[in-house]
C-alpha cells in the first residue's frame, strides 16, 4: 500500500523567508503527486501536481515542487513566503493502478507566516 510522510508538522517563518516542505512517499511503481493547500476555514485546493515529464513543476502563487524519483520525494518550495501563505499543506500520492483515483494524503504541515 502507498503511504506519504510529511516530516514537518508545524513550520513558522517570517515573511520573505524561503520555504521548503518535505514529502516522501512509499510506492514502487508509477505515481501521480499532488500538493494541496487548505487556508483557514476553507476547503482543500490544488497547488500543483506532477504526472510525468519535467520533474520540476510550478503551481499557483509562486509555489514549485521537485519530483526526485530516486529519493521518493516531492518537496514543496517557495522562494519568499507571504503572510497570506499561512495555511495547512498536504502532500498526496496516487498510484497509477487500480480502478479509482484514490489519493493517499500525508498528515499535513501547518505553515505559519509572521509579519
Partner 1 sequence: NAGVTQTPKFRILKIGQSMTLQCTQDMNHNYMYWYRQDPGMGLKLIYYSVGAGITDKGEVPNGYNVSRSTTEDFPLRLELAAPSQTSVYFCASSYSTRGTEQFFGPGTRLTVL
- Closest approach, Cβ 105 to partner 1, in A, equals 4
Alpha-carbon distances of 59 from 1, 9, 97, rounded to whole Å:
28, 22, 25
What x-and-dash track marks residues 18-47 binding partner 1 by CB under 8 A?
-------------xx-x-x-----xxxxx-
Q: Which helix (H) or strand (E) holds 17?
A: none
Binding of partner 1 at residue 68 (CB under 8 A)?
Answer: no
Altogether, the residues listed in the chain come to a count of: 115
| Alpha carbons 76 and 82: distance in angstroms, whole number | 15
Cell for 26? 512509499
Rounded-to-integer distance, Cα 103 and Cα 7, Å: 19
Question: Considering only residues 49, 54, 56, 76, which one is a binding residue for partner 1 as defined by CB under 8 A?
Answer: 49
Binding test (CB under 8 A) with partner 1, winner from 17, 62, 64, 105: 105
Taking the complex as a whole, the smallest distance from the CB of residue 29 to partner 1 amounts, in Å, to: 12
Residues near partner 1 (CB under 8 A): 4, 9, 31-32, 34, 36, 42-46, 49, 51, 90, 94, 96, 98-103, 105-108
Amino acid at each position: 500500500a502507498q503511504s506519504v510522510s510529511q516530516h514537518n508538522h508545524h513550520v513558522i517563518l517570517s515573511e520573505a523567508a524561503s520555504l521548503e516542505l518535505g514529502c516522501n512517499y512509499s510506492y514502487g511503481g508509477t505515481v501521480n503527486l499532488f500538493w494541496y493547500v487548505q487556508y483557514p476555514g476553507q476547503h482543500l485546493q490544488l497547488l500543483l501536481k506532477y504526472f510525468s515529464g519535467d520533474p520540476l513543476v510550478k503551481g499557483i502563487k509562486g509555489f514549485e515542487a521537485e519530483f526526485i524519483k530516486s529519493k521518493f520525494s516531492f518537496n514543496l518550495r517557495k522562494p519568499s513566503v507571504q503572510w497570506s501563505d499561512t495555511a495547512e499543506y498536504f502532500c498526496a500520492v496516487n498510484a497509477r493502478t487500480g480502478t479509482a483515483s484514490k489519493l493517499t494524503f500525508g498528515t499535513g504541515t501547518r505553515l505559519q507566516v509572521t509579519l
